Structure 1
């Protein structure tokens, strides 16, 4: 049976078929005595909003999971809790989305919280209603601050694709816009950060894959793009854009972030943006 809010292993293909927007954020923190990855996925299609939380298992798989479905045509629990067991420890997922403002987007913008609790600690807290979350759970903040490792977004559009992202967990939000326009018969790719043109790629038929280093404020950012399927594919097709902040001190390895698995062992954040063209 098709899972309406889960993202399967063959993620791009399945999301393309379903036509649902999805945002998948991966955090690293300590839970049940070990450093683990927690994945939070928000999904949206014409029928429902969905939230899924999964925790990395002992062999590296994400076998501990709970799901919340938000269907518009009948009453659903806009606040509540669920729990599952991780290596003998109870993990509670507590949420309050009563007045959450989605503004037509997949992930809520404000007025909500989602708390993951284990052993009397809030190991991960999302949203801006933090005081309410601590009061509701009755638990203390974790001594270890969770780290956002990667964010994977699937968005749909005809020629322009936009998102908001923090390239640094303690930084400010930046508006990112990707647009593929046509200059005669030669398409042009433009990437804007906060309204300013950051990357422009002409002769896209020959430069459908590439990368460029740019500055966002005082910080460096490496941008990778692959729009081969936009130009030469058929059926549901996406362009892939990777935004990788450049650390102040360069890493020992020069390896490009060609997969999210590569980021699993890194402490740097990386945004993977899948831009699906809708005819």
Structure 2
């Protein structure tokens, strides 16, 4: 059940309309937070994807000039071993699609793991990840996409098998694949998504779906970000969940950064936004990105989460959306 949003907590945006908007602080919370997600993204995509990789690769990436979506999962095997699995979906202007799958052991001191770039429509691939023997199975040959979205929406599967246990099942045809592939269904490990990141270009309106807690229902999250410094009268900046407007930002010239707590299914969700570059640097010809971050909070007594908490990979769910005016 959705309820009314709370007043902004510890706001860090300018709020006096009689003064000109201040320049952005050199090390703002929002900038540091976004850097925590994206510093290593391009290097991951361009690397050879062999050997060990740093723990920072588990951060949801933002890759330039592509519609990109990434999902990060934690899986717990029957042996209580934990694996981290990242799926990074790319789709170019020409319609070419690919996915990078990265697997590592959460308990490994060196964070050894492997990442695999899947460009073929169908196949399987064995590989080691730390001390785990993994195999990827995938089939995108009949996959359906929604417009230019990088991630398929139906008629596909991507399965990760580790130490003879299914640690990730993505896609609507996983069940059929498992029935045809295995005489006896392997054990399914406990797994859940803990991060989701999306980067889109050339839009002022973006809609996605998110499940903010394990076992909870899926919600539609919609963001509207329209206007710039030269056309303040037509500015629109708001956030809806299940088509109900929960955040409405006015006077964007001053409130280009902020945070607010909303309730979804009775649980507090912290929402942070930064539209400075979209508002002041964005134009029809180039530049400008708006960033929104959603993160569940365990209870209202805990403080507003920080970028340091993000880096620790806590159990709370995080959704990051970055929208750019053009490519």
- Scaled to the shorter chain, the TM-score interval is 0.7 to 0.9
1:218 aligns with: 266
Structure number with higher strand proportion = 1
Matched, 1:254 2:293: no
Unpaired segments ≥5 residues, structure 1:
70-76
1:198 to 246, 250, 253: 246
Answer whether contact 2:60 2:72 (CA < 8 A) is retained: no
In 1, distance between residues paired with 2:217 and 2:267?
12
Number of corresponding residues: 265
Within 2, Cα distance between the matches of 1:159 and 1:116?
35
Q: Match of 2:45?
A: 6
Alignment check: 8 A CA contact 1:149 1:263 kept: no
Q: Alpha-carbon deviations, 1:63-101, whole Å to 9, x = none?
A: 4011111xxxxxxx4321112112343210101223222
Which stretch of structure 1 is more off in the superposition, 124-133 or 183-192?
183-192
Shift of 1:62: 6.5
- CA change 1:39–1:153 in 2 (3 A) is same
**RMSD (Å), alpha carbons:** 3.2
Residues 63 and 140 of structure 1: is their aligned pair in 2 closer, same or farther, counting only changes over 3 Å?
A: closer
Question: Once structures 1 and 2 are overlaid, which stretch shifts more, 57-66 or 220-229?
Answer: 57-66
1:54 and 2:102 matched: yes
Please give the residue correspondences for 1:93-132 in structure 2 after superposition, counting only pairs within 5 Å.
93-104=136-147, 105-132=149-176
Report SS of the residue matched to 1:15.
coil
Residues 5 and 43, structure 1, Cα contact 8 Å, conserved in 2 = no
Give secondary structure in 2 for the equivalent of 1:146.
strand
| Cα distance change, pair 27–132 in 1 and its aligned pair in 2 (3 A) | same
1:263 deviation in Å? Answer: 5.7
Cα deviation digits, residues 86-143 of structure 1 (max 9, x gap) = 234321010122322212221111222111001211111111223223224425133x
Q: Which has the higher contact order (CA 8 A, sep 6+)?
A: 2
Structure 2: gaps (5+ residues): 1-41, 48-55
Q: Residue 264 and residue 82 in structure 1: after superposition, are their counterparts in 2 closer, same or farther (change >3 A)?
A: farther
Task: Write 1 or 2 for the structure with the bigger share of helix.
Answer: 2
